[in-house]
Structure 1
Amino acid sequence: MQVWLDFPCTERDTSGAPRIRQRFAQPTRLLIAHHLAEVSTVLAAVETAAHAGQWCVGYVAYEAAAAFDPVLQTHEAHAAGSLPLAWFAVFDEATDWPNQSASSTTPATYKTNVWQDQTSPATFAEHFAEIKAAIARGDTYQINYTTRLKSTFAGDALAYFQALHRGQPNGYSLFIDTPDWQICSVSPELFFDWDGYTLTTQPMKGTAARGNDATSDATQAARLRQSSKEQAENLMIVDLLRNDLGRIAQTGSVQVPQLFELQALPTVWQMTSTITAHTRPNTSLVDIFRALFPCGSVTGAPKVKAMELIRTLESSPRGAYCGALGVVRPHANGKGKGIQATFNVGIRTVVIRQGDAECGIGSGITWDADCTAEQREFRAKQRFLGRAAQPFALLETLKLENGTIWLLSEHLQRLQHSAAHFAYVFDLAQVETTLTDVIERHPQGAWRVRLLLEANGQSHAEAFALEPNPASIRVQLAHTAIESDHEFLRHKTTQREVYAPFQPTTPAYFDTLLWNERGELTEFTKGNLVLEINGKAYTPPVSSGLLPGCLRQQLLQQGKLQERVLYQDDLRRAEKVWFINSVRGWLAVQTSLEGA
């Protein structure tokens, strides 16, 4: 058994470290609740152990809600296949979580298959209408509706957690590995932090997908920041939590120091607010859960009616998802009781059991919500799973000719940008040493160099003889659209599944020309597109959904290309069509495209 924990430290923490990054093994005991009557007993034992100097790490499942208030409805606590209602491992000591480095061994392998949503679009629309009807009746004013995604899992669960963690590196991350099940939680949302005196909670409501480039990303953030609908959704939960905190707070101590702040996550923008309070003397950990659990951001408001409707609409237990996962540890604080309890809201959480993986995705639905927009939000929140579907390396394909690599600085800049995006270790000197070795082994002739950068910073390169360019090439037009906001279109990696459905159907075609859901031309699967129209050279913008090629970037900087949204009509009237990349240069495309 092992547990890995990476939580931000709070302002009241005196350790001086920005984060608590600990690894645990060999617990002295396990505190487990299988029945509602046992949940409070487990939490009381957790608090006692922390006062005695031990670390307690674990979770409380969403279905434990009735243990704190019998009127809170959930699915049956003992549903088949469910995990315990509460589970904590108690440790005498913690060890540091080692950082990744280039000296690390090659990461273990794992794989998830395509995640299947257990709620069909038709059922989603039906449930959405039922929620809107409930709001119209005055039963509720916000419901956090969730669905389940399921997949199969094979391989090393820790390696999978580390990949998820790289995609959400600044949140409240916890990995629990037991012989029977594993939990990989990379939640960005704080449920509560408590030092025995000051209690802080930070609900997260309001979401927008990240943009494809800096301009569209800033636009998305501005829209979220200015959205009265998203602000209202956030404020509803702030008010709910203020009331919840009031049940255990000293009179007049509940404050909202931050309202409607934006948090930039790798795949979405999230709106958060911060609420604080000073707890009354003799408040216990059980008292805090009784007042706050489940977090209002995953129920809706008012909480009792919201959970009642959720129980009716959702077909399965939530489990650790939408529960609380965290740590209770000894902590010296003059005003407090000598412990620090920090729990996340169990979103962005995958549970693995006997080769099956499950992840919940949810969204707050209010009267102003639109069904199509909510479904888009669900898809945006799922993207963190696609990023970690299986291990991948960053990739640069370079042209080495007579000892010189063409466009080397552009390739290295792009590689560094992608490493920062995916939180991969990037050591420029180590990468340059790898390339120098390839150059010394291939001083003459033309070569195609394949440079790989692993997550731990290790780089590898190999060279292949480069065949002469053909005089022209035949390509086909894709028969279906490609999703323009797919993350792996904008970064060159070994994760090529997004391109797999668009491979040429016969060897007669050199490549396939892609177009997106808006009908915009984007790129080839192995190069960028250039159309010559009225004597001027145009290439699609990154916002259409494509890889910013190094040759393309140089030509744009030199003023030899202009960005412009292009359509199939432009393809038909173009005087010339070109395939370009930094290995082949310019290849003339025969203009009679199959499917055009």
Structure 2
Amino acid sequence: MKNILLQFDFKQTSDEDSVVFTDPLYMITANKLDEVEFCMEQIERAVQDGYYVAGYFSYEVAYSFYDVDIKHQNESMPLLSFGVFSSPTSIPRSEIFGEYHVTNWNMKVTKDDYEKSFQRVMEAIENGVTKQVNYTVPFEASFTGNSYQYYQDLKNAQQSLYSAYLRFEDMDILSVSPELFFHYKEDTIKVRPMKGTVKRGKTFEEDQQHYTYLRSSEKDRYENKLITTLMTKELEQVAEKDSIHVTEAFTVEKYPTVYQMTSTIVGKVSDSITVTELFKRLFPCGSISGTPKKATLQLIANVEPYPRHVYCGAIGYFSPNNEAIFNVPIRTVVIDQQNGIATYGAGGAITGKSTVEGEYEEVHTKTSVLTYREPPFELIETIGLQDGKWLYLNEHKERLQDSATYFDFALSLDKLDTILQQYEEKYPTGLFRLRCLFHPNGNITHEIFPLKATNNAKVVLASSNIDSNNPFLFHKTTNRSFYEAFQQDDYFDTLLWNEHGEITEFTIGNVVIEVDGEKFTPPVTSGLLNGTFRRGLVRDGIVKEKVLFKEDITSADAIWFINSVREWIKVELVINN
């Protein structure tokens, strides 16, 4: 038990510290359903005796609370596992650093089997058995190395409010869940069901469209309302009916890879309800089962071919200070350290309004956290200063504001204006290039250079493609390693192309070609930065957007490199065999 580490990064407020437990006095563990009730009694007794009790409940624990016929039990890990502790402690220093390797994630259910299960669920909905079913599938990968470092990377990628790292003797649980199951403190309970998902857009404009879509989506609001109604009724079993009310409805929250819709319900818990009784009345969370709950649990047991384990269960702790808090372990990786196998569950709510294509896409959207990595970066604006006047300043500010909103950067345009005024006064003549870095906390660092003439205007095609799904292509940031990999000392710049063979941009500017007197530039959707000079040319009709391929470039009458500092530079494409 010396290796056990349970860390709860539940951030109800921005300055809330992690709660950490190590070296339990003893463990409370259930491996079979008929052991669950006794373990619940042990948990209640330990809390009443003044101890903290921390750990997890697997989803399959629900089968001990409901009369459900099951075809498989949770055999590879305990149904529940809790440590009993005198008090929280601090994070061991040995957990901070480490390396790891994880292979590609593979869905354990074929698309054909997924579609068959979807049809079974839709038939149950049509027959009135259920209104909504949260159907899930597992993913699997091989894992070696330091799971704590992997947890930190996942947490940085997801930026969730209810993350937790649980290390047991031969199993690690890495949960970066955005969803609160319940928070009970003194006599008040809060639940926060999450239902409704859409992936983030790559550009600011596309991102706003996705946000607006989710806010007004009839399907997602219907799903959310069903679960909010279910959980409100469940709260009536443990809380005073008149005290229960929805404080927030259909709130859309932003995460690095998705938007999620949540609602919040609060109530005053009845004096006669113990904390473990409260848990039993609410578990499992309605958002990951469906409604009506019992019939839906039975349907899930019939349709899903694998146990969920801790995924969709509950992770958290009971405090002797009349408090308990648990997440819903979505966005959660479980690592079997003995076999080096990592598993991850993903799913979505199926209702009568669902389509198999939409649900299948949502499942894969929810796996993006597994591979998405956002390194530390700053926003960049490079602005030309010509004879004391800034070039395309409004366009630079507009792009900067869009990216700051997209990435949640603090931004003060007044602070930028002060910097610009200083340089205007210092350099009233000549041509200069100002480079500003905008930090997440609102700080701005800056430097200015005289603009040198371009002697070599030869360019070359990239030897391999860029990935047009990379969101950093659409924002000007210091995360430029994917550009720098293509730059060559012998050439002015390199012309890039995407996975579909479409021309995109240069590494430090946009591209325009001329054909029969007309000028064309690739559309932003091909995967490129909408440069400030480019957007003005397109807006004014000087240049038209058109999907371009390599043969369009090689047969063009002329090729230009453009940006807001140098504007037009005619370039020569060198073909390397």
TM-score, normalised with respect to structure 1: 0.73
2:469 aligned residue (485, 497, 503): 485
Q: 1:97 to 1:347 in 2, by over 3 A?
A: same
State the Cα distance separating 1:342 from its structure 2 match. 0.7
C-alpha deviation, 1:154, in angstroms: 2.1
Q: Which residue is 1:465 aligned to?
A: none
Picking from 84, 88, 95, the partner of 1:90 is 84
SS in 2 for 1:357: strand
Residues 477 and 593, structure 1, Cα contact 8 Å, conserved in 2: no
Distance 1:414 1:229, change over 3 A: closer
Q: Which residue of 2 aligns with 1:366?
A: 351
Indicate conservation of the 8 Å contact 1:520/1:565, yes or no: no
Tell me what 1:239 maps to: 229
Is 2:366 aligned against 1:381?
Answer: yes
The secondary structure found in structure 1 opposite 2:121 is helix
- Residues 526 and 60 (structure 1 numbering): CA distance in 2 closer, same or farther, change over 3 Å? farther
The answer for the alignment partner of 1:142 in structure 2 is 132
1:295, distance to aligned residue in structure 2 (A): 0.9
For 2:294 and 2:526, the matched residues in 1 are separated by 45
**What is the deviation of 1:18?**
4.2
Distance 2:484 2:344 in 1: 25
* Secondary structure of 2:368's aligned partner: helix
Deviation at 1:298, TM superposition (A): 0.7
Residue 360 of structure 1 aligns with an amino acid whose one-letter code is G
Give 1:333-352 correspondences, 5 Å limit.
339-352=322-335
> Mean alpha-carbon deviation: is it higher for 104-113 or for 228-237?
104-113
Distance 2:305 2:115 in 1: 15
1:153 aligns with 2:143: yes
Pick the aligned partner of 2:152 from 162, 167, 185.
162
Counterparts of residues 168-179 of structure 1 (less than 5 Å): 168-179=158-169
Q: Shift of the alpha carbon at 1:136?
A: 1.6
Q: Summarize the alignment of residues 218-237 of structure 1 with structure 2, pairs less than 5 Å apart.
A: 218-237=208-227
Counterpart of 1:194 in structure 2 is: 184
For residue 30 of structure 1, give the secondary structure of its aligned residue in structure 2.
Answer: strand
Q: Is the 8 A contact 2:157 2:256 kept in 1?
A: yes
Q: Return the alpha-carbon distance in structure 1 between the equivalents of residues 286 and 528 of structure 2.
A: 39
Query: Any idea what SS the aligned residue of 1:276 has?
Result: strand
CA distance in 1, matches of 2:208, 2:403: 19
Give the counterpart of 1:215 among 200, 205, 212.
205
Q: CA deviation at 1:574?
A: 4.4
CA offsets 1:109-160 (integer angstroms, 9 cap, x no match): 2222211112222222222222222222222221111111111222211111
One of 490, 501, 522 as aligned partner of 2:504: 522
| Cα displacement (A) at 1:523 | 3.8
Does the CA contact (< 8 Å) of 1:65 and 1:72 recur in 2?
A: no
CA distance in 2, matches of 1:276, 1:5: 22
**Contact 1:72/1:307 (8 A) holds in 2:** no
Are the counterparts in 2 of residues 539 and 561 from structure 1 also a CA contact under 8 Å? Answer: no
Is residue 2:312 matched to residue 1:322?
Answer: yes
2-structure distance, mates of 1:539, 1:98: 54
Paired position in structure 2 for 1:75 = 72
Shift of 1:314: 1.8
User: Offset at 1:170?
Assistant: 3.8
CA distance in 2, matches of 1:470, 1:210: 40
Residues 291/566 of structure 1: CA separation in 2 closer, same or farther (3 Å cut): same
* Distance change (3 Å), C-alpha of 1:489 and 1:125: farther
Q: Where does residue 458 of structure 2 map in the other structure?
A: 472
Instruction: Quote the Cα distance in structure 2 between the aligned partners of 1:417 and 1:98.
Output: 40
- 1:105/1:289 Cα in 2 relative to 1: closer, same or farther (>3 Å)? closer
Taking a change above 3 Å as real, the CA distance of residues 533 and 274 of structure 1, as seen in their structure-2 partners, is: farther
Aligned to 1:443: none
The change in CA–CA distance for 1:472 and 1:202 in structure 2 (over 3 A counts) is: same
Aligned-pair CA distance for 1:567: 0.6
Select which of 313, 327, 331 maps to 2:303. 313
Alpha-carbon offset, residue 39 of structure 1: 2.2
CA deviations 1:330-376 (Å, max 9, x no partner) are 33xxxxxxx11111111000111132211111110111112222222
* CA distance in 1: counterparts of 2:570 and 2:69, whole angstroms: 67
Match for residue 386 of structure 2? none
2:558 to 544, 568, 576: 576
Match status 1:64 vs 2:47:
no
Measure how far apart 1:247 and its partner are.
Answer: 2.2
Distance change >3 Å, CA 47–CA 225, structure 1 → 2: same
CA–CA separation in structure 2 for the residues paired with 1:280 and 1:365: 34
Q: Give 2:286's aligned amino acid.
A: G
Task: Measure how far apart 1:291 and its partner are.
Answer: 1.5
Shift of residue 478, structure 1, vs aligned partner: 7.0
Q: Structure 2 CA distance, aligned partners of 1:382 and 1:473?
A: 38
Give the partner amino acid of 1:485. N
Q: In the alignment, does 2:170 pair up with 1:180?
A: yes
Cα root mean square deviation, aligned:
4.7
In 1, distance between residues paired with 2:219 and 2:232? 20
- Aligned counterparts of 1:241 and 1:199: Cα–Cα separation in 2: 12
How far apart in 1 are the matches of 2:324 and 2:560?
A: 60
1:166, distance to aligned residue in structure 2 (A): 1.2
Q: Deviations over 1:386-413 (max 9, x none)?
A: 125xx966599999xxxxxxx9x999x9
Residue 8 of structure 2 aligns to a residue in which SS? strand
Residue 448 of structure 2 corresponds to none
Secondary structure of 2:137's match? strand
CA contact 2:533–2:567 (8 Å) conserved in 1: no
Give the Cα separation in 2 of the matches to 1:593 and 1:478.
14
Question: How far is 1:73 from its partner?
Answer: 4.4
Shift of 1:277: 2.4
Say which is worse superposed, 217-226 or 368-377, in terms of deviation: 368-377
Paired residues of 1:537 and 1:561 also in contact (CA < 8 A): no
The structure-2 alpha-carbon separation of the partners of 1:54 and 1:378, relative to structure 1 and needing over 3 Å to count, comes to same
SS in 2 for 1:237: helix
Instruction: Report Cα offsets for 1:456-510 as digits up to 9, x if no partner.
Output: xxxxxxxxxxxx986534426979xx7643445457788979999xx99xx99x9
Shift of 1:268: 0.8
Query: Where do 1:250-265 residues align within 5 Å?
Result: 250-265=240-255
TM-fit CA distance, 1:310 = 1.8
Structure 2 residue aligned with 1:6? 9
Q: How far apart are residue 420 of structure 1 and its match? A: 10
CA distance in 2, matches of 1:561, 1:106: 54
State the distance in 2 between where 1:397 and 1:105 align: 34
Note the 1:449-468 alignment, pairs <5 A: none
